Structure 1
Amino acid sequence: MVALAWLLGRDEVATVIVGACSEAQRAANLQAAELMLPAELRQQLDRVSQPDLPYLHWMQRFRDRDRF
Structure 2
Amino acid sequence: MERICPVCNKLYNISIRCSKCGNLMAEKGRDDEYLDDYTANMPLENSTCCTHIFYCYKCDKMEKICINNEFM
Under a length normalisation based on structure 1, what TM-score does the superposition of the two structures give? 0.30
> Higher strand proportion, which one?
2
Under a length normalisation based on structure 2, what TM-score does the superposition of the two structures give? 0.29
- Rg comparison, structure with higher value: 1
Task: Determine which structure has greater relative contact order: mean sequence separation of CA pairs < 8 Å that are 6+ residues apart, divided by chain length.
Answer: 2
